[in-house]
Structure 1
């Protein structure tokens, strides 16, 4: 087989950095001891063109093979890549990959549901559409829910120093890896061997302040006869970065569409007219010591006066205080030539703290009463009070805390049946993740009683106009006063929410890499059977469920299910130029007495017309089983508005004439309820890709691939609008009133008693559970270049770059809704602000074995500015796109001896802040999209690694 140039180029690419390389170390599902062992089987010049590589197992295939490039494009990030490019965590290395174009929430997203977790979005697809593997085994889910509803994986608990390499496979991979593998697969391969004891220590800091980082790790391996073991541990502590540490976030925006506007920390206003009442006889004189002495009398447009500060944004964190401890062990025991027992344990303890700032630490009458009536003002008004650090005892003392304990344990055995070509691997994996959310809260009874006693005074009946709002005559002078820390503590404290996920999997695989011979080589077969169960529970503090916590609620949920799957792959090299890979899988989930099942397949074709050229293509299907949270999340409520199509129809106004339907039927307020649904079906996708790899020399390679996703049955809450329309169609006879569709609509809409002849009672409640209803399409292109050049006595230069571009992204929330072109609708949630393109690359110069230096860049493409994302177009005045965000990292490594390595790394070399977006108003505390950008700025790290006994 004439594959010399491609094979050599790919091996060179693997040696220099993350690239669209095609040989990978760990099997996506195989035993942990298999390594990247690709090497020449024959090194003589006369046999170069006939050279075959020793068989390896690649991520993206279950079958060991001689080809290190396949139909599936793969990017490999090695441990050395992560170090020299300045990545400080596994999450950062993956989030900076060119595939991660989607906006995601994280530590910078203040007030989000999972501020203590890290994840990514491949090509703008949902974060749960990526299958994460650790040594080829599925990674356990994080117990918290992304955006309050979606199950996902947390990348923040993986010890970077224990990672050997990471394989990233874009595109659907469910025919091998099952559920979740729609956007792609990420396989994190941990180390299986070290030469001897080693210690690595790193200290880092940010030149702008905050974020000091200390990390130390230790690893060692030893053997005793047939027993081998590797042990590693990593400890890390990182200080938070506060918004006050950065000029862009320490105060309200000074370069926007309006002058900066101070926060409304002491406010009396009418929620109906918007009028401000300034009732402080001391003109804020009693509160000027708050917020570091920046509190004072402020005025907004129209002469509206209040007490506030320009510097309240600085009291939130933009990165978390974090402490982690990880322990990893890998052990093998050679029972015989045909059997090896193995075991792996990865344990993680993670403790994080963060502050959501004064914007989320406040009290107001609007939450309790909507408004109150003040007879002296003869108006309906509200009070609003933000708590200052001088009152709380400092925001550092009331930070939210998250404690996570997780582990993943695998025990198994693998080997060969006698002298045959049949290999086997039988393993059991258990993962467990426990989460405690220790969050700061205001307690409803105590905080309301405090302000009633000190400010509002006793209630004086109801308002004289509507008899609907309570009447108070407040002591406004007492309102414009600081409160003591003791009083603040009297109505605040912490709640504890406990969550857990667990997963058991027994997996057996049979593999024959030489099942039979074809003209192009040996055909291979792999068959996998697996089964297990999994569970999720989310148990909020009871006070979050019964109204004891002021301004905050939560939703409980719990459930479990069993599952099994069968997978098969057949790889057939029909000719030296043509190879076909066929795989199929059947998954079944038993949920609440029912079964959810789905089958997937994939056809992969590899064509090599030249020894330097590979043409490849794939076509298949992928799926995502309903998540446990989608199936078992508890009941929650909300208020909204919906047209009453049935009553409007009876009044002569059809769906196209709702604007003329009389009040209240044109827009009726209702109480909505939503919950999980155990009858959900899988999300399905048709996926295909095609591309090429060209290696004109053994030191230079190019690759380009085009990928397509057509996704159906995505989960969304049922549309109240569509339910109301269905009820109308059932009423007029377009739909059979006795049908299941009509019975469903009638059952989910609750109406009051009719008071008007010929009309039904007003809509009071609508139940909108999660259903399979949404669709999505994505087209993307990826490309890479890898090049190595010897420069004689000057050493060697290595260059690698990777590029991704989303060419099309459309979504449809409900069947009758229009299809939204996300790339042209910047307000489309949550993808309208995604990066369309990303490109990164590195240049490494190694003049000798002692010295090396690397310059790394990452170019984030254009995104909509704030105004465009508000008005949903690029044509209104002030709309547009922000320029590319380009960051540079640099590192220098010096090895004075074979035992000692010293490194100096600088991240964000030029201290680049997010692109300046002048379309934000002066009320903005973070004038940038915190799901895309951060204000961390330049960071520097000193690192030392010592290997005991190295020679």
Structure 2
């Protein structure tokens, strides 16, 4: 690390330039006296990203300056004759510029789609009312390109691996139809079906039909009972399919060796095998299967005070098969330790080293031989790639309430609240693996509940909104207690309508500058679960909007 006094405030800048655009053009109207309306449009969107970072050069740079000439090898490792005096001499900005260069990465993604929608609010008439109809046709082409680093990064920069490129293209087609059927005056059904098909550049593709049935029953005017069942289908993201191998060095804890030596999450930072530089390699997987799902929901909506007050409660159940997941290096090393030691750190979950998942995890970790003079049996490389999870199922309860009222000249007010609580979440990574309870014992960082609250005030050209999120306490790193948090953040917006054309909005996120709760059992910096919490403090934005419609 170098102080700004040595090399300047911008010496280690990483700058990201993003250019995005989105264009939609179309036509809508009626098909004569048939009762059918059409809406046809073409959409084209594209995003280009360029990242420029400053990295040290591999040749004639910082290594030569500090290490000195190469003397030969000792125990298979390079030996140098460093000049120790330079360790205590500040670098000049000129030296820093001489030792470093710009590492450039680029990526772009585009999407071109054509959509045709035909609707008829009265396809034919039933005793309880008109049957509504809608039909959709879609065709889409998606493309992406990603250059992870300079193509010559491995030879130009120290500690860097070769920049890799990935690119792919996918064509998608879909046709669907929907019927809104009033069976009785108080009972209606919504039935829809869809067929999706995709083809991949280089071969491959699939197609599948999905459907949905929704029912609504209103026994009295103020009460609506509702339920639905639906199936879903999608192909994996293109980056997961086409990504070529890329690698880089990360800092990780060798969880297996540390736990084997008696260390725990609370004191991993004291373990000699903590903060190790590990070569992490990732690649895509063209063998990924399509993702399928089934959802089932039922609940009610109650309205009162001329619909000024609305309350809703819904139960939902989601079953997913072949969901795509990619594990980070830390997660892989934690799972490897569980498999090798046969149990989780807290002892609540047992692991079979011969299970399909353990065999896969062990194959993803490459270790040095026991005879290595520097780090015997230590991690040398971790392989990561996307995989399909066998299946998972989650059920939960979702509730919401909102109330609106007018205060005359003082404006219009509204308040709302929401609450979600998972009841069950089970996961099986591969066929033959045990089924894990993801709500227990730090098996996952899933929140036990999430509550929201909002309030808004509209008066004249001004509108304001305050929105708060309260996340439930999470499991500590060693999985013994759910005692980290809760964590509550507040966001706010103020919008002013200048005229029919323009408006300006001020947004503040994390208004109270709330910091993530610290987990004292987490021995790794920054000492909180980065999958749940983030270090973004208060941020403010000003946005000018122009509406030319």
TM-score normalised by L of structure 2? 0.74
Is 2:521 aligned against 1:914?
Answer: no
1:426-465 alignment to 2 at 5 Å? 426-447=40-61, 450-452=62-64, 454-463=65-74
Shift of 1:769: 5.9
Is 2:393 aligned against 1:393?
Answer: no
Distance 2:280 2:517 in 1: 40
Distance 1:427 1:855 in 2: 34
Aligned to 2:344: none
Distance 2:139 2:393 in 1: 32
Aligned to 2:266: none
Aligned to 1:841: 454
Aligned to 1:625: 235
CA deviations 1:606-625 (Å, max 9, x no partner) are: 11111111111110111221
Aligned to 1:162: none
1:503-514 alignment to 2 at 5 Å? 503-514=111-122
Aligned to 1:936: 537
CA deviations 1:815-834 (Å, max 9, x no partner) are: 34333333324363xxx164
Contact 1:799–1:844 at 8 Å: present in 2 too?
Answer: no
Distance 1:469 1:853 in 2: 66
Is 2:192 aligned against 1:583?
Answer: yes
Distance change (3 Å), C-alpha of 1:390 and 1:808: farther
Shift of 1:837: 0.8
Is 2:486 aligned against 1:873?
Answer: no
Aligned to 2:473: 863
Distance 2:409 2:194 in 1: 54
Distance change (3 Å), C-alpha of 1:497 and 1:791: closer
Secondary structure in structure 2 of the residue aligned to 1:629? helix
Contact 2:491–2:507 at 8 Å: present in 1 too?
Answer: no
Contact 2:47–2:110 at 8 Å: present in 1 too?
Answer: yes
Instruction: Select which of 500, 512, 516 maps to 2:124.
Output: 516
Distance 1:478 1:402 in 2: 34
Shift of 1:812: 3.2
Distance change (3 Å), C-alpha of 1:918 and 1:500: closer
Distance 2:541 2:247 in 1: 48
Shift of 1:907: 6.5
Aligned to 1:135: none
Distance 2:177 2:188 in 1: 17
Secondary structure in structure 1 of the residue aligned to 2:78? coil
CA deviations 1:403-432 (Å, max 9, x no partner) are: 122222223222222111122222222222
Is 2:298 aligned against 1:690?
Answer: yes
Contact 1:518–1:575 at 8 Å: present in 2 too?
Answer: no
1:220-235 alignment to 2 at 5 Å? none
Distance change (3 Å), C-alpha of 1:458 and 1:853: closer
Distance change (3 Å), C-alpha of 1:606 and 1:795: same
Aligned to 2:270: none
Distance 1:580 1:541 in 2: 53
Shift of 1:560: 1.0
Distance change (3 Å), C-alpha of 1:427 and 1:440: same
Secondary structure in structure 2 of the residue aligned to 1:402? strand
Distance 1:638 1:442 in 2: 15
Contact 1:810–1:822 at 8 Å: present in 2 too?
Answer: yes
Contact 2:148–2:246 at 8 Å: present in 1 too?
Answer: no
Secondary structure in structure 2 of the residue aligned to 1:574? strand
Distance change (3 Å), C-alpha of 1:821 and 1:398: same
Shift of 1:557: 0.8
Distance 1:576 1:627 in 2: 44
Contact 2:413–2:455 at 8 Å: present in 1 too?
Answer: no
Shift of 1:715: 2.5
Distance change (3 Å), C-alpha of 1:432 and 1:524: same
Instruction: Select which of 222, 235, 249 maps to 1:612.
Output: 222
Distance change (3 Å), C-alpha of 1:919 and 1:492: same
Shift of 1:567: 0.9
Shift of 1:703: 1.5
1:164-203 alignment to 2 at 5 Å? none
Distance change (3 Å), C-alpha of 1:930 and 1:602: closer
Aligned to 1:799: 415
Contact 2:520–2:527 at 8 Å: present in 1 too?
Answer: no
Aligned to 1:885: 488
Distance 1:562 1:589 in 2: 6
Is 2:212 aligned against 1:602?
Answer: yes
Instruction: Select which of 281, 301, 317 maps to 1:708.
Output: 317
1:650-689 alignment to 2 at 5 Å? 675-689=283-297
Secondary structure in structure 1 of the residue aligned to 2:66? helix
Specify which structure has the higher proportion of strand. 2
Distance change (3 Å), C-alpha of 1:545 and 1:780: farther
Secondary structure in structure 2 of the residue aligned to 1:426? strand
Q: Which of structures 1 and 2 has the bigger CA Rg? A: 1
CA deviations 1:136-192 (Å, max 9, x no partner) are: xxxxxxxxxxxxxxxxxxxxxxxxxxxxxxxxxxxxxxxxxxxxxxxxxxxxxxxxx
Distance 1:681 1:903 in 2: 44
Instruction: Select which of 24, 37, 60 maps to 1:423.
Output: 37
Distance 1:473 1:784 in 2: 69
Secondary structure in structure 2 of the residue aligned to 1:814? coil
Shift of 1:393: 1.5
Distance 2:546 2:140 in 1: 42
CA deviations 1:704-755 (Å, max 9, x no partner) are: 2222211111224699999xx9xxxxxxxxxxxxxxx9xxx9xx99x9xxxx
Shift of 1:903: 8.9
Aligned to 1:215: none
**Aligned residue pair count:** 477
Distance change (3 Å), C-alpha of 1:889 and 1:813: same
Distance 1:804 1:693 in 2: 16
List runs of 5+ in structure 1 lacking aligned partners.
Answer: 1-385, 644-669, 726-740, 752-763
Distance 1:397 1:637 in 2: 24
Distance 1:420 1:414 in 2: 15
Structure having greater relative contact order (Cα 8 Å, sep ≥ 6): 1
Contact 2:20–2:46 at 8 Å: present in 1 too?
Answer: yes
Contact 1:544–1:552 at 8 Å: present in 2 too?
Answer: no
TM-score normalised by L of structure 1? 0.45
Shift of 1:518: 1.4
Distance 1:550 1:928 in 2: 30
Contact 2:437–2:443 at 8 Å: present in 1 too?
Answer: no
Distance 1:892 1:508 in 2: 35
CA deviations 1:42-74 (Å, max 9, x no partner) are: xxxxxxxxxxxxxxxxxxxxxxxxxxxxxxxxx
Distance change (3 Å), C-alpha of 1:709 and 1:889: same
Is 2:422 aligned against 1:809?
Answer: no
Instruction: Select which of 99, 103, 110 maps to 1:491.
Output: 99
Shift of 1:853: 7.7
